[in-house]
Amino acid sequence: MQNSVVSCPKCGSTNIYKNGHDKYGNQQYFCKDCKRTFRLVHSKKHKFFSFPYPKCPVCGKTMQIHKIKKAFVKFRCRSCHTRDEIPTNLPQFVPLPFDSFKFFRFPIFIVLKAFVLYFKAVSLRSIRDSLNIKVSHVAIYKWILKLSCFFSILVPVDAFKVHGDETVVLFKSKKYYVWFLVEHDSNLIVAWHVSKYRDMGQVKILLEKFFGNNERTIELITDGLGAYGAVKILYKNINHIVVRLGQNNQCESKFSLFQDFVRAKRGFKNIDNLPMYVNSFCVVRNLLKLNNNDIARVICVLLSSITTS
């Protein structure tokens, strides 16, 4: 938003700049002429629960949510920091409407273009230069994080022959494993999983993500990793075929693209974001495969999935 758009409601001056946010997240402005701080929007935060929040037993003020656990909700007073716990047998969360254009200053088409280019292993600064707008690479990084939780991969209903493999991602000298299931004919990623270990339990989680509630007879092609021995033990509807190391080309091609993406990022700053990155990578790569690497068509598909959700 440019300074010429917003004017001070007291003196009418346009010599203003942004001055942080209030406690409800509304943008604040500061007028350089009359030294007045003001905001254009006075909306309050949505409540996670529809019931009245408890009062502080010490000072009597309304408490706020501090942490949400599985068995209880922890409240805390902003003034005296007194804490209280309430069990979670309470009303359901109030659904929050999602407006796809609300969180970004720029058109959503530009934001989605940055999102697609990012998972095509283009660096943040290169994306910034290609967009021809005045935006920082940090803002683009925040766009990616906001959009990464909105999309999910679609599993083809006719996926009866899949390839499974895993690769290693290093973070502060610790190994993390990324697992893929790739459909044989379409070469689409149909399931993924991120784990700290490479054992039978992780193979079981990967296959459960693929099957969901629709178990069917499939053919699974893997390398000689011993963890895939869980397939014959746990699943009678899977024909497990073992190939030699380096001959599982369906998965190896996807992992080479994923490693290019990791190198473009120069590693991960926060390992907790790795599942979001992997999910978005799978979504973008599948859409590029289905749309013949046409970025404009991929953006249209992503935009339609946002506006119809």
pLDDT in tens, 153-191: 776 667 788 888 888 888 888 888 988 888 888 888 888
What is the distance between the terminal CA atoms of the chain, rounded to a whole angstrom?
28
Contact 40, 29 (CB under 8 A): yes
Backbone angles phi, psi at 289, to 5 degrees: -65, -40
> What pLDDT score does 139 carry?
87
Contact 17, 3 (CB under 8 A): yes
Binning the chain into helix, strand and coil, the percentages to the nearest 5 are 35, 25, 45
User: Is pLDDT above 80 for 136?
Assistant: yes
User: Is pLDDT above 50 for 93?
Assistant: no
Task: Give the tokens for residue 8.
Answer: 């001070």
Provide the mean pLDDT of the chain: 79
203: number of CA atoms within 13 Å, CB side? 23
d(CA 238, CA 228): 11
Confidence at 8, pLDDT banded by 50, 70, 90: confident
Distances (CA, A) of 130 to 110, 117, 277: 10, 10, 22
Higher pLDDT, 101 or 231: 231
Contact 180, 189 (CB under 8 A): yes
DSSP SS3 for 64: strand
> What pLDDT score does 92 carry?
42
Q: Out of 131-135, 145-149, 249-253, which region has the weakest mean confidence (pLDDT)?
A: 249-253
- Cβ neighbors of 85 (< 8 A, separation 6 or more) are 72, 73, 74, 75
> What pLDDT score does 51 carry?
59
Task: Give the tokens for residue 16.
Answer: 């203003």
> What pLDDT score does 104 carry?
66
Distances (CA, A) of 110 to 99, 100, 116, 225: 16, 13, 10, 43
Give pLDDT tens digits for 291-302: 888 888 888 888
Read off the pLDDT of each residue in 222-230 and give the average, rounded to a whole number: 81
Task: Give the tokens for residue 65.
Answer: 């949510």
Give pLDDT tens digits for 10-66: 888 888 888 887 766 788 889 988 888 888 877 666 555 555 677 887 888 888 888
User: Is pLDDT above 50 for 226?
Assistant: yes
User: Is pLDDT above 60 for 1?
Assistant: no
- Percentage of the chain surpassing pLDDT 70? 83
Confidence at 229, pLDDT banded by 50, 70, 90: confident
Distances (CA, A) of 234 to 237, 239, 269: 9, 12, 37
Confidence at 249, pLDDT banded by 50, 70, 90: confident
User: Is pLDDT above 50 for 265?
Assistant: yes
> What pLDDT score does 96 carry?
36
Task: Give the tokens for residue 132.
Answer: 């021809």
CB atoms near residue 274 (< 10 Å): 16
